Amino acid sequence: MKLYIRQKVFSWTDRFTVRDGDGRDRYTVEGELFSWGKKLHVLDASGREAAFIREKVWSFLPRYFVSVGDREIAEIVREWSFFRPRYHLEGLPWVIDGSFWEHDYEIRENGRLIVTIHKEWMTWGDCYELDIADARDEIPALAVVLTIDCVMAAAAAAASN
């Protein structure tokens, strides 16, 4: 199953739509403008919250928590490294590998492919293609990819200041 994330270039808050391969809206992602730390709500097509992502404030390294329903399913930590970003997931037995700067990476569980992520270049705004192998992994995979994108955007913003 393929999902496409297209983010707007100029936006005061994070608000964008995730579409399926047929161009239909599957999810809406909304950020909170005034909050301590980054917070994203992933809403399904009927407006119900499918996932919630929040940044831990006052953490040395970027640390995010992903909740689905009332349950926290993952903690995502950007590991300390000089040359290329690395991420560690707690709560999910997934391993993330690839080129994050080029937005071309994959997530696996014991060798089983969960999702591949590929950035489409030469588009207005950021556009990502997620190819999710199993529909049962759709929400957690989408939430993990959105979290990594948050960390990368924050690092890019800090580097430009």
pTM of the complete model = 0.85
pLDDT of residue 56: 84
Q: What is the mean pLDDT of residues 9-38?
A: 81
pLDDT of residue 10: 46
* E strand or H helix that includes residue 54: strand 49-55
* E strand or H helix that includes residue 152: helix 138-160
Q: What confidence tens digit (pLDDT) does each residue in 96-154 have?
A: 888 766 668 999 999 999 999 998 765 556 688 999 999 999 999 999 999 888 877 76
The per-residue DSSP string of 103-136 comes to TEEEEEETTEEEEEEEEESSSSS-EEEEEES-GG
For residue 13, give the DSSP letter: S
Burial 69-100 (b: 16+ CB within 10 A, else e): eeeebbbbbbeeeeeebebebeebebebeeeb
Q: What confidence tens digit (pLDDT) does each residue in 58-103 have?
A: 766 778 999 999 999 999 988 776 666 678 889 999 998 887 666 6
Report strand pairing: 104-109 vs 25-31.
unpaired
| C-alpha torsion sign, points 112, 150, 159, 118 | positive
Q: What confidence tens digit (pLDDT) does each residue in 3-18 have?
A: 998 875 545 467 889 9
pLDDT of residue 124: 59
- Whether pLDDT at 53 is above 80: yes
pLDDT of residue 153: 72
